[in-house]
Amino acid sequence: MPALTRLFQKLKQLKSPKLIAVVEAAHTQAFEEIDCMTCANCCKTISPRFNATDIDRIAKYERLKSSEFIDKYLTQDQDGDFVTTVRPCPFLQEDNACRIYDIRPKDCRGYPHTDSPNFAAMERYHTKNADVCPATVRVLALLQLEMRK
């Protein structure tokens, strides 16, 4: 059985308060060690989904109609979700700051969800994110260490 599958099996066996505590501790340590502003790999390589509310909000900020915003920046993926036409994200600036940070899509806000109370049920999500996000890799490594104690 792959090591990550074993890890998630062990996490699922933890009672909720303990699970939340170990996940939060790993998340906090990982983001103390890794600075998103020197990484930005998520913004460079994958796209958030833009829901209708995101599109209306950001289009208004850009002084565009929602349809014009879609034409300018977005395409639909195979699930029918709106994603950016290009990568890196067109709102990522040279210094790795997000040009629309305060009004960024909902998807961007919680990413990579390594502090989620549902962490143990998100094996596929976190395993996939480990290809993109060094903080996720670090969280998983810290949890593996913790669960060996």
Which residues of the chain form contacts with ligand SF4 (CB under 6 A)?
34, 36, 39-43, 48, 89, 91-92, 98, 100, 104-105, 108, 111-112, 132-135
Least distance in Å: CB of 148 to ligand SF4?
Answer: 24
Kindly tell me which of 14 and 96 has the beta carbon lying closer to ligand SF4. Answer: 96
Least distance in Å: CB of 83 to ligand SF4?
Answer: 10
Taking the C-alpha atoms of 125, 129, 51 and 40 in order, what is their torsion angle to the nearest 10 degrees?
160
Distance CA 15, CA 4 (A): 19
DSSP calls for 67-114: HHHHHHHEEE-TTS-EEESSSS-TTB-TTS-BTTGGG--HHHHHTT-T
Kindly tell me which of 10 and 51 has the beta carbon lying closer to ligand SF4. Answer: 51
Kindly tell me which of 82 and 105 has the beta carbon lying closer to ligand SF4. Answer: 105
Least distance in Å: CB of 45 to ligand SF4?
Answer: 8
Least distance in Å: CB of 27 to ligand SF4?
Answer: 11
Distance CA 67, CA 8 (A): 42
